[in-house]
């Protein structure tokens, strides 16, 4: 585990840009510093280091991911940990048994750059593989106090395209309709906007039905990619 982190830093340190690092940290409002490694070079390093890895035990994979995550001194290390959580060698482990690992990352990371990728790219696979258990858990998260777990429950189906489970989506949105939290309002609009790509009429119906219960931010996000006239959808009572 230590060897993997050392190998990652050996690759990243020489290509970091201190000036870029400052601007990245400022943009992300991060207390954790950056090395200043852009996304593309970071992905290349991760591919080089992680592609040869083989896992025949879920615990070994969890240990590697969480070792990178917990010991990170730079934000890129945590991005690498998220990348490692999605390696093909671990596809078989994307089940409900891996939720505690992701939950730790969500709770301790508590910011959109971590949370959104985990929700959309990782938890979504678990929803496919363990639908009943995961759907039940997402409904629980949607009603909890932790806003980032709530956000996950709303965004988890963002790449489902035409296969989105509307009942689950609306169940996860409903507890946050009255929230004034920006990141929850933004998530609601984003999830509905993704649904609008394949089912625009349903989004129009839902926006009209929910009326003023939907914040202006959520409504604007939901209708963003529809015709301009849809922004004047008649609200329900």
Consecutive 10-residue runs of the chain (237 residues): their mean pLDDT? 90 97 98 98 98 96 97 98 97 98 98 98 97 98 98 97 94 97 98 96 97 96 80 48
Residues 107 and 202 in one domain: yes
Residue-level pLDDT at 227: 72
- Predicted TM-score (pTM) of this structure: 0.93
The number of distinct structural domains making up the chain is 2
Residues 43 and 115 in one domain: no
Instruction: Report the distance separating Cα 138 and Cα 121, nearest Å.
Output: 15
Residue-level pLDDT at 236: 46
Residue-level pLDDT at 107: 98
Residue-level pLDDT at 162: 85
Residues 116 and 211 in one domain: yes
Residues 21 and 40 in one domain: yes
CATH code of the domain containing 236: 1.25.10.90
Residues 200 and 102 in one domain: yes
Domain coverage including residue 12: 1-93
HSE of 37, CA atoms in CB hemisphere, 13 A: 24
Instruction: Report the distance separating Cα 60 and Cα 56, nearest Å.
Output: 8
Residues 108 and 192 in one domain: yes
């Amino acid at each position: 585990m230590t060897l993997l982190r050392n190998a990652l830093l050996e690759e990243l340190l020489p290509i970091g840009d201190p000036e870029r690092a400052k601007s990245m940290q400022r943009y992300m409002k991060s207390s954790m510093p950056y090395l200043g490694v852009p996304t593309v070079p970071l992905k290349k390093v991760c591919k080089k280091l992680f592609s040869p890895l083989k896992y025949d035990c879920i615990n070994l994979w969890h240990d590697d991911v969480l070792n990178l995550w917990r010991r990170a001194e730079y934000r890129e290390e945590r991005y690498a940990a998220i990348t490692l959580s999605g390696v093909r060698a671990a596809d078989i482990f994307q089940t409900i048994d891996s939720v505690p690992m992701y939950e730790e990352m969500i709770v301790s990371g508590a910011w959109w750059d971590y949370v959104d990728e985990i929700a959309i790219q990782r938890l979504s696979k678990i929803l496919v593989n363990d639908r009943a258990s995961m759907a039940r858990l997402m409904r629980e998260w949607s009603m909890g106090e932790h806003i980032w777990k709530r956000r996950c429950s709303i965004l988890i189906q963002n790449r489902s395209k035409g296969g989105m489970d509307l009942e689950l989506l609306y169940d996860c949105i409903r507890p946050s309709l009255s929230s004034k939290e920006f990141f929850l309002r933004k998530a609601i609009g984003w999830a509905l906007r993704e649904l609008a790509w394949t089912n625009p009429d349903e989004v129009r119906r839902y926006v009209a039905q929910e009326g003023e219960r939907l914040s202006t931010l959520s409504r604007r996000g939901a209708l963003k990619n529809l015709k301009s006239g849809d922004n004047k959808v008649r609200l329900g009572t």
